[in-house]
A and B are shown apart, each in its own frame.
Chain A
């Protein structure tokens, strides 16, 4: 049996986390986290080495970008989730795949497949 792809979730909204967990687990992914803030997110990147990550841009006023930097340096693919749309994303990161809230299950899965085709 092939080990499931492990996806780090960094998202502070419990309801959104719950739905993402359902979507990912039903599709055969393993969820790492979730992390509700930058510090927890960074700890999980270094400690768990996930295969991919989904990052909510705004974590209670904190920007998620330090986690994105760690992921980039570790060569781990990731995408953003945001309620602001592309315009709310720092210009440096606009080339990354981005999901706008609200989103459909197939949007999440398509994004993840793009990040990590083996899944």
Chain B
């Protein structure tokens, strides 16, 4: 406070408390030119009300007279914002045009004698030049003079905007958390892997998605440790899982991150191979393990595909090795009867080509077999076309298994080569007739497989003489073919043409890797 007040204001100082910065503004103002009139003329009620307000630490305002002229304290001074200090001594309607329509009915009610309270009232204010949302707790009471006439309003105005903003921020954050929870829930349910989350304190599965339920074959989750006792799982090496071995339990109890394969038997007896991945979840504060997250994948098909591929590779290797052994045998025997290295190369190459042709036919038939007519047609093609009609084929459709295709293919190659060199196909007029038929079942052993008879007959070729020594061809037919097919084969070197009769049962022996 500056100087001592002039003597005429002595009485005024007595009733007006200091009241901080706002108190000073009120005191230093010359009110004589305002509707309130000079301070000395203020009635006792007004003085008492202003004194009360200035004495209070609670935001308070006196709205005096019919114009509701504002007189407030330091605590209230923040409410009008940039309108302070002009708001001091200003009629309410003039100061707050933005809230007048909303609040004037309340002022009217108070003016009629009714105290009024508004809790957390929302208003839009222009106190700092722009529209802003604000919230207040209002308490309005009428001020009466000695005659009980209402002369003003005493208002307690506590701004609750901060509380509201906090509430909104909290609500927004809760909403965000709920949204994220929905994302996670949907993700967990939609994931193509089994997901479970076990609570470390209780051992209960607090999350178990649909896929995990399917994979494990269990319904509602029960207590984790009890649950594991009922599970039947073994390690890939065959050791059964103890409760403490389960990845979730290891993650939960020892903080291990586990990634392993498990062979798991469901309650319905089906067995699957699962890839199991478990990790502990730690409390952000303190780091104690609060849960374990486990992800399960069914890798049964993957494992089977891997095994199947191994088997196929193994099989392929075996087949290649056997084919190499067969070729080796052909080379070995071709060499025995070849007079010159050139003759060896020619015969060996032709035999290789015949073998390759049989492989082509089998590959076209998915290695299940091939048609007899097509085997013959392939071998005899050079003598059976528009220019040369030296071959006749006749017989029913007969489908032969792989072993018969390979051995008959080689036998027909030997017969054709012999005919082209020495027999009916060595002269333009010669002819070969191949006929095949099913033998009368009456001739077959009781309940035995049907027998096929194939006749190869050469005509109009050069005179035939029996060979002086057995070559690869005749050995292959008379011994090899017979051995492979379990039948018989006769080679008849008749002077007017070679005849070969092959007879064998057609039950394809169980097809093997051989």
Q: What residues make up the interface of A, taking CB atoms closer than 8 Å to B?
A: 12-19, 22, 34, 36, 56, 58-62, 83-85, 88, 100-103
CA distance A9 to B362 in the complex (A): 29
- What residues of A have a CB within 8 angstroms of the CB of B332 in the complex? 19, 22
Task: Assess whether B514 is in contact with A61, with CB atoms less than 8 Å apart.
Answer: yes
Q: State which of B386-394, B477-485, B495-503 sits at the interface with chain A.
A: B477-485
Query: Contacts A14-B479, A15-B329, A22-B332: A101 and B511 contacting too (C-beta < 8 A)?
Result: no
Task: Assess whether B325 is in contact with A16, with CB atoms less than 8 Å apart.
Answer: yes
Task: Assess whether A59 is in contact with B514, with CB atoms less than 8 Å apart.
Answer: yes
CA distance A36 to B327 in the complex (A): 19
Tell me the nearest residue of chain B to A26, going by C-beta.
B336
Task: Assess whether A83 is in contact with B322, with CB atoms less than 8 Å apart.
Answer: yes
Task: Assess whether B333 is in contact with A19, with CB atoms less than 8 Å apart.
Answer: yes
Task: Assess whether B328 is in contact with A22, with CB atoms less than 8 Å apart.
Answer: no
- What residues of A have a CB within 8 angstroms of the CB of B333 in the complex? 18-19, 22
Tell me the nearest residue of chain A to B509, going by C-beta.
A60
Judged by a CB distance under 8 angstroms, whether B283 is at the interface is no
CA distance A22 to B317 in the complex (A): 26
Tell me the nearest residue of chain B to A59, going by C-beta.
B514
Judged by a CB distance under 8 angstroms, whether B235 is at the interface is no
Judged by a CB distance under 8 angstroms, whether B421 is at the interface is no
Task: Assess whether B325 is in contact with A13, with CB atoms less than 8 Å apart.
Answer: yes
- What residues of B have a CB within 8 angstroms of the CB of A13 in the complex? 322, 325-326, 484, 514
Nearest chain B CB to A82 CB, angstrom units = 8
Instruction: List B residues 421-452 near A (Cβ within 8 Å).
Output: none
> Could you jot down 14 A-B contacts, CB within 8 Å?
A14-B479, A14-B481, A15-B325, A15-B480, A18-B480, A60-B514, A61-B510, A61-B512, A61-B513, A61-B514, A83-B514, A102-B325, A102-B327, A103-B328
CA distance A62 to B325 in the complex (A): 19
Nearest chain A CB to B413 CB, angstrom units = 13
**What 1/0 mask marks residues of chain B from 294 to 336 whose CB sits below 8 Å from any chain A CB?**
0000000000000000000010011101101111111011001
Tell me the nearest residue of chain B to A22, going by C-beta.
B332
- What residues of B have a CB within 8 angstroms of the CB of A84 in the complex? 314, 317-318, 321
Query: Contacts A15-B330, A58-B514, A61-B511: A83 and B325 contacting too (C-beta < 8 A)?
Result: yes
Closest 7 pairs (CB-CB, A-B): A61-B512, A14-B480, A83-B321, A19-B329, A101-B325, A15-B329, A102-B324
CA distance A60 to B333 in the complex (A): 24
Judged by a CB distance under 8 angstroms, whether B121 is at the interface is no
Judged by a CB distance under 8 angstroms, whether B46 is at the interface is no
Judged by a CB distance under 8 angstroms, whether B273 is at the interface is no
Task: Assess whether B318 is in contact with A88, with CB atoms less than 8 Å apart.
Answer: yes
Nearest chain A CB to B260 CB, angstrom units = 27
Given A15-B329, A83-B514, A85-B321, 13 further pairs, Cβ under 8 A: A12-B514, A13-B326, A13-B514, A14-B484, A15-B326, A19-B325, A22-B332, A58-B512, A58-B514, A60-B509, A83-B322, A84-B314, A101-B324
Task: Assess whether A83 is in contact with B512, with CB atoms less than 8 Å apart.
Answer: no
- What residues of A have a CB within 8 angstroms of the CB of B318 in the complex? 58, 83-84, 88
Query: Contacts A60-B509, A61-B510, A84-B314: A102 and B480 contacting too (C-beta < 8 A)?
Result: no
Judged by a CB distance under 8 angstroms, whether B407 is at the interface is yes
Tell me what chain B mostly uses at the interface: helix, strand, loop, or mixed.
Answer: helix
Judged by a CB distance under 8 angstroms, whether B117 is at the interface is no
CA distance A13 to B509 in the complex (A): 13
- What residues of A have a CB within 8 angstroms of the CB of B336 in the complex? 22
CA distance A14 to B407 in the complex (A): 9
- What residues of B have a CB within 8 angstroms of the CB of A85 in the complex? 317, 321
Task: Assess whether B326 is in contact with A16, with CB atoms less than 8 Å apart.
Answer: yes
- What residues of B have a CB within 8 angstroms of the CB of A58 in the complex? 318, 512-514
- What residues of B have a CB within 8 angstroms of the CB of A60 in the complex? 403, 509-512, 514
**Among the listed B321, B407, B475, B484, which residue makes an inter-chain contact with A101, where contact means beta carbons less than 8 Å apart?**
B321
CA distance A85 to B284 in the complex (A): 59
CA distance A35 to B43 in the complex (A): 138
CA distance A103 to B332 in the complex (A): 12
- What residues of A have a CB within 8 angstroms of the CB of B511 in the complex? 60-61
CA distance A101 to B319 in the complex (A): 10
Tell me the nearest residue of chain A to B320, going by C-beta.
A83
Tell me the nearest residue of chain A to B510, going by C-beta.
A61
CA distance A83 to B320 in the complex (A): 8
- What residues of B have a CB within 8 angstroms of the CB of A15 in the complex? 325-326, 329-330, 480
Tell me the nearest residue of chain B to A36, going by C-beta.
B483
CA distance A92 to B325 in the complex (A): 26
- What residues of A have a CB within 8 angstroms of the CB of B479 in the complex? 14, 18
- What residues of B have a CB within 8 angstroms of the CB of A19 in the complex? 325, 328-329, 332-333
- What residues of B have a CB within 8 angstroms of the CB of A12 in the complex? 484, 514
Nearest chain B CB to A57 CB, angstrom units = 10
Nearest chain A CB to B486 CB, angstrom units = 8
- What residues of B have a CB within 8 angstroms of the CB of A16 in the complex? 322, 325-326, 329
CA distance A36 to B509 in the complex (A): 12
